[in-house]
Amino acid sequence: MSEVKVDKVSPRSGTALALGDSGDTFTVPSGAKLIAPGHVLQVVATTKTSTFQTTSATMVDVTGLTADITPSATSSKIHAMVTCGTFINDNGNARALMQILRGSTNITAGDAATGEEVGSTNCGRSNDGAHHQFPTVISVLDTPSTTSATTYKVQVSRGPDAAGIVNLNRSGNQDSNSGNTITTLTLMEIAG
């Protein structure tokens, strides 16, 4: 097998550079990386299948919804996304709040001038007493600017001026026979 080592390959003329012919296969050795801006370099995910409840008026960690990722470059961005089938407060239209943290930093905080508690998701139940299930998705593009292992986690609360119990993954009518849902925290490294 022949081997060519160069620092840069440029087209002889124009701006197009062809690699091989139709049907050719290019192999990238284990540990080597092809990096193109905007492409996904790695995906890390964790799924919580059990239920979680809290009456906390301040944000608390959701057990089992933590994931670590080590970015390949400081220019990389991390697309952090939480998807949950059920996220409700069981007390009328009281709020249920959720946020994603990188380490101890809330990366889903909105403008404080909105008057809402820090947190990007505000879900509740209608005040007619009927049972409802609220699917929830939070998606944010973060810039950790590091190549060190980085921890992301999910927190929830009912808010400082609300009542009731915040439920994650639990069926809307609180009946265990109705079937519960799952929640997934997904981290994708995007090349910068």
Gyration radius of the chain over CA positions: 22
Q: What is the side-by-side strand order in the sheet with 52-54?
A: 52-54, 166-168, 87-89
User: In terms of pLDDT, which residue wins out, 95 or 5?
Assistant: 5
Q: Give the pLDDT confidence score for residue 151 in this predicted structure.
A: 98
Contacts of 152 (CB under 8 A, 6+ apart): 66, 67, 68, 69, 78, 80, 100, 101, 102, 185, 187
User: In terms of pLDDT, which residue wins out, 90 or 93?
Assistant: 90
Q: Measured at the alpha carbon of residue 167, what is the angle toward residues 164 and 173, in degrees to the nearest 5?
A: 85
**pLDDT for 59-73, tens place per residue?**
999 999 999 999 999
Paired tokens of 132? 């409802």
Q: Give the pLDDT confidence score for residue 86 in this predicted structure.
A: 82
Q: What is the pTM of this model?
A: 0.78
**pLDDT for 100-147, tens place per residue?**
999 999 998 876 654 444 444 444 433 344 455 667 889 999 999 999
Domains identified in the chain and CATH numbers: 41-190 (2.60.120.760)
**SS3 of 125, please?**
coil
